[in-house]
Amino acid sequence: MSLAVLVLVTGLVFAGLDAVMLSRFMKPLFEAHIGPLMLDSPRMVPAVIFYVGYIAGLIWLVSWPALREGAPMQALVAGAVLGAVAYGTYELTSYTILRDWHPTMVVVDLLWGTVLTGVSAGVGVAVTRWIAPV
C-alpha cells in the first residue's frame, strides 16, 4: 500500500508541477532560442516513457529508501541531487553540441529539474508517511 501511495503522490506532484512550468515558462524560453526546431505539440509516447522511467528511478533510488528511514528531508535533498545530475546531463550535453542552445536554457532547466525532483520526492515521502506509513 505504501509503495502505491508513494508512486501515485510523487507522480502527480511531478507531472502537475512540470505541466505548469513547461507551458508557462519553459515553452516560451525554448521558443525564443530554438523555436524553429520545436514541434507544434509534443510527442506524447516519448514523454510518457520519460515520466514513467524517471519517476520509477526516483522512487527506487531516493524515495523508497527515504520512506523506509522515515526521512522526507533526505528524499528532498537526494531528489534534488538526482535532479541536478539528470537535468544537468541533458542541458550541458545539449549546450556542448548544439549551436543555438542558450546558457539561459541551461540554467533555468537545470534549476527547475533540481527543484522539481527534490520537491516531488520530499512531498511524496511526507504524504505517504501521513497516509500509509511503512
Please count the structural domains in the chain.
Answer: 1
Tell me which residue of 1, 124, 129, 4 sits closest to 62, measured CA to CA: 124
Distance of alpha carbon 76 from the chain centroid: 12
Its pTM stands at: 0.94
Range of the domain at 10: 2-131
Contact status, residue 67 vs residue 128, Cβ threshold 8 Å = yes
DSSP 8-state code for residue 70: T
pLDDT 10s digit of each residue in the chain, 134 long? 899 999 999 999 999 999 999 999 999 999 999 999 999 999 999 999 999 999 999 999 999 999 999 999 999 999 999 999 999 999 999 999 999 999 999 999 999 999 999 999 999 999 999 998 77
DSSP 8-state code for residue 41: S
* In the block, residue with C-alpha cell 537545470: 110
